[in-house]
Chain A
Amino acid sequence: MTAPSSTTPPGTAGPAAPTPAEAGSARAETAALQDALAAEHVAVWGYGTVGAALAGEDRTPVAVAVEAHRDLRDQLAALVADRGAEPVPTLAAYQLPFPVLSAVDAARLAAQLEDGTTAAWVWVLDQAADRAVRELAVGAASAAEVRAVPWRSRAGSTPATTATPGL
């Protein structure tokens, strides 16, 4: 999912890329938490589109997922702020990766949203220095994968499970 008006050409690293911090450093951990926060913003926004394409009780897992992602978003924002950094904000809108015109499209989008957050949390595991952060991350990655599996099934993805999600 992309912002509507990105000014950076795809595939480039941008004009002001700072030096990556070493994994396990406080700076790397904070950067990874910011990445996860951005992914959670995307998930919260994206599930709005998922819900709009579904009807009735099919929306129940959407509400559950949105609540989970909002909770994680708020936890991440607090963690980032505690580290003296400015939490990355949500954008007003994002560009969908494909048109969401059916329930199957919605399931596919939801699976991709969960995959995105799983990848972000696994990256937090890679970069984290703090054990408590790793504890949060492993729980969040697992929860995202658990939500992703039924969405993949609905989208017709086979298999619906993955051996090493986020890697």
Chain B
Amino acid sequence: MSTRPARPVAAGAFPRRSLLVAAGALPLLGALAACTDPPPGADAVTPQQEDRLAGQVAVQTELVAAVDAVLAAAPDLAAAVPAVLDQCRDQLRRLQEAAPSVTGSPTTTSGSGTASPAPAAPVADPRAELRTRLTTAADSHAAACLDFTGARAALLGSIAAGLRGQLVVLA
């Protein structure tokens, strides 16, 4: 599963993470964990979890459609937060990769998906609308994260964190 995080390791082993951890403050065994297949136990999913994951794909699909529609109707806002839509799409792609049982291909174009339709008309306060949509999706993914273990829990939690970060630029 491509979404598995790498274990934070001691300085030097992974330059990108060299700041993360004090050498000597951690046991130095992480490199192997970052490049091996995930163990099956933590990443096994029940049918109920498959349904839950499909639900989170739907949540994100709906979010992408809504963000696309809101920003299309508010070009000034779209210019102010140029990365939000692409990042929401990237989150959706990651979720779809983690939920292979969900039908449909990863979203690369605007507004695709089967979730409820995005706002058809311009909203009075597009920034507030966007914040509401992002908050709703973040809350949903954070709650779902608790029902999983392993890489899927990490992915859902990471996406929730990413959405909370996007809210900061919309404040």
Question: A residues touching B (Cβ–Cβ < 8 Å)?
Answer: 1-3, 6, 8-14, 17-18, 20, 22-25, 31-32, 34-35, 38-39, 41-42, 88-91, 94-95, 97, 112-113, 115-123, 125-129, 131, 134-135, 137-139, 141-146, 148-150, 153, 159-167
- Residue B4, interface by CB 8 Å: yes
| Known contacts A116-B20, A116-B21, A122-B157: A159-B32 contact under CB 8 Å | no
Contact with A along B31-55 (1 / 0, CB 8 A): 1110000110111000000000000
Counted as pairs of residues, one from A and one from B, with CB atoms less than 8 Å apart, the total is 241
Q: Are A2 and B162 in contact (CB under 8 A)?
A: no
Task: Report B37 CB to chain A, min CB distance, Å.
Answer: 11
Question: B residues touching A (Cβ–Cβ < 8 Å)?
Answer: 3-8, 10-13, 17-33, 38-39, 41-43, 82-84, 86-88, 90-91, 94, 138, 142, 145-146, 149-151, 153-162, 164-169
Task: Report B2 CB to chain A, min CB distance, Å.
Answer: 9
Docked pose: A161 CA to B162 CA in angstroms = 7
CB-CB under 8 A from A9, the residues of chain B are: 12
Contact of A10 among B13, B87, B157 (CB under 8 A): B13
CB-CB under 8 A from B41, the residues of chain A are: 22-25
Contact of A141 among B13, B21, B146, B157 (CB under 8 A): B157
Besides A2-B12, A23-B151, 19 new A-B residue pairs in contact (Cβ under 8 A), listed by A number: A2-B10, A11-B13, A13-B31, A17-B29, A20-B29, A20-B33, A22-B41, A38-B22, A94-B22, A116-B20, A122-B157, A142-B164, A145-B161, A146-B168, A163-B162, A164-B158, A167-B3, A167-B5, A167-B155
CB-CB under 8 A from B17, the residues of chain A are: 116, 119
Contact of A3 among B5, B19, B25 (CB under 8 A): B25
Docked pose: A29 CA to B46 CA in angstroms = 21
| Known contacts A134-B157, A142-B164: A42-B169 contact under CB 8 Å | no
Main DSSP-derived SS at the B contact region: helix
Task: Report B5 CB to chain A, min CB distance, Å.
Answer: 5
| Known contacts A159-B82, A159-B83: A149-B165 contact under CB 8 Å | yes
| Known contacts A17-B28, A118-B161: A42-B5 contact under CB 8 Å | no
In the complex, which residue of chain A has the Cβ closest to the Cβ of B36?
A: A20
